[in-house]
Amino acid sequence: MKSGAVTDEFDRAAASYDTLVAANPGYHRHLRLSARRLALPRGGEGMRVLDLGCGTGASTAALARLFPRARIIGVDASEGMLARARAKKWKPNVRFIHARVEELSADRLGGPSDAVFAAYLLRNCPDTDAALGVMRDLLGPGGRMVLHEYSVADSPAARLVWSLVCWGVIIPLGRLVTGRSDLYRYLWRSVLDFDGVTALRRRMGRAGLENVRSLPLPGWQRGVTHTFLGGVAAEGAS
pLDDT tens for each residue of 30-84: 999 999 999 999 999 999 999 999 999 999 999 999 999 999 999 999 999 999 9
Question: Is there a contact between 114 and 140 (Cβ–Cβ < 8 Å)?
Answer: yes
As a whole number of angstroms, the distance between CA 117 and CA 77 comes to 15
Count CB neighbours of 80 within 10 A: 20
Residues ≥6 apart with Cβ < 8 Å to 210: 230, 231, 232, 233
| Sign, CA torsion 61/7/11/28 | negative
Question: Is there a contact between 176 and 219 (Cβ–Cβ < 8 Å)?
Answer: no
Report the relative pairing of strands 225-231 and 139-150 from DSSP bridges: antiparallel
The more confidently predicted of residues 162 and 174 is 162
What's the rounded mean pLDDT across residues 112-141? 96
Alpha helix stretches (DSSP H) within 138-181: 156-165, 171-178
Report the relative pairing of strands 210-216 and 225-231 from DSSP bridges: antiparallel
What's the longest Cα–Cα distance across the chain?
55
pLDDT at 18 over 70: yes
Count CB neighbours of 46 within 10 A: 11
pLDDT at 153 over 90: yes
